[in-house]
Chains A and B, each alone.
Chain A
Amino acid sequence: MVKPIIQTELNFPLRLLRWSLPDELRECVCGDLLEEHGERTKNEPNGNAGYWLWSQCLRTFMVFGFKTKRGFVMRILGFIIIFFVIWFVSVLTGGMQNYINIPSFIVVLGFTFGGLLATGVSQKNMWRVALSREVDNVLLNDALQAWISARHYLLASGFVGTILGIVSILANMDDPKMLGAALSVALLTALYGVFLAYGVCMPIQKNIEQKLMS
């Protein structure tokens, strides 16, 4: 006789589900699923119990996740849509490799990083606040100013890259090979700057503002 698997620790789908459930339902819903999963493991040894558990957890997550963790779920959904649109457009226009330009990355990240250092912004606090739940208001205010500065520097870096690219084009008008590379830097730096400023910094900034207001 096959012994039922007694599972006391929560695996990933159950942990995800537990996180999305309201406090009063956490114990009973997880307990119900563990109990039925144990019975199914005993009766269906071909592995269907695992699929059943995943299906139950995801279906239940869809019911409660949008209610209890609406802000977080919407933020993740927003990021997915942003990345999907960029990926889709890049595929339609010749592939992702056309949009990868190392000099442009260096200009954007180098200018922003340098700018933040020069203005004395604490980058450690920026990430601590973005990734942690329990932080005080002083730290939140510091981080908010830092993320606003980062957004401004990213937009400015796009502008700087465009200027550098145009100067390089004008200086190499006789060399057609250099024109393409310089034009790439000019346009892609602006794209990276705008993408990081509005696709990454803005959502984090809004999240911190919401934390401060609550």
Chain B
Amino acid sequence: LNEKFLGEFEQMVLLSIIRLGSNAYGTTIRQVLAETIRRDVSIGALYTTLERLERKGFLVGELGEASRERGGRAKKYFSLTGEGEQSLKRSRDAMNKLWQGVHIRSGVLNYG
């Protein structure tokens, strides 16, 4: 009953990771957020959220290869866990239920 729902930015990050598939790491996640929803987040804010989601068990991070463009520094790839997917679905279902019956008439939101 006391299920906790994901925050708006957490959902955006998880959805970006799903979109990116096996190429989800800091730079690409930031780029997806900037290009898709025009949200220019700092890499620090992004990693704070990624770390929080990893701690909650919704994400797993894995160190990848280092490249010359990155000054020989490794990437950290992220992917969703089963728990992360469940949590994301739960948040979407909750929003869908709340949106049911809400209509936009002449630019104004109305219920019923």
A103-B26 Cα distance, complex, nearest whole Å: 58
B112 interface residue (CB < 8 Å to A): no
A33 interface residue (CB < 8 Å to B): yes
Minimum CB distance partner of B70 in chain A: A31
B69 touches A28 (CB 8 A): no
Among the listed A7, A27, A35, which residue makes an inter-chain contact with B27, where contact means beta carbons less than 8 Å apart? A35
A59 touches B27 (CB 8 A): no
A60 interface residue (CB < 8 Å to B): yes
Minimum CB distance partner of A8 in chain B: B71
A25-B47 Cα distance, complex, nearest whole Å: 8
A6 touches B43 (CB 8 A): no
Interface of B is mostly: helix
| CB proximity of B73 to chain A, nearest CB, Å | 3
A32 touches B43 (CB 8 A): yes
A9 interface residue (CB < 8 Å to B): yes
Given A6-B68, A36-B30, are A63 and B73 neighbors across the interface (CB < 8 Å)?
no
A4 interface residue (CB < 8 Å to B): yes
Given A6-B68, A36-B30, are A31 and B73 neighbors across the interface (CB < 8 Å)?
yes
A7-B66 Cα distance, complex, nearest whole Å: 14
Interface of A is mostly: helix
Given A36-B27, A36-B30, A63-B48, are A31 and B43 neighbors across the interface (CB < 8 Å)?
no
User: Which residues 60-87 of B have a CB within 8 angstroms of A?
Assistant: 63, 66-76
Q: Of B48, B51, B69, which is in contact with the most chain A CB atoms at under 10 Å from its CB?
A: B69
B36 interface residue (CB < 8 Å to A): no
**Footprint of B on A, CB under 8 Å?**
4, 6-10, 25, 27-36, 38, 55-56, 59-64
- Residue pairs across A and B with Cβ atoms less than 8 A apart, 16 shown, are A8-B71, A25-B47, A27-B73, A27-B74, A30-B73, A32-B25, A34-B71, A34-B73, A35-B67, A36-B27, A36-B30, A38-B69, A56-B43, A60-B43, A63-B42, A64-B44
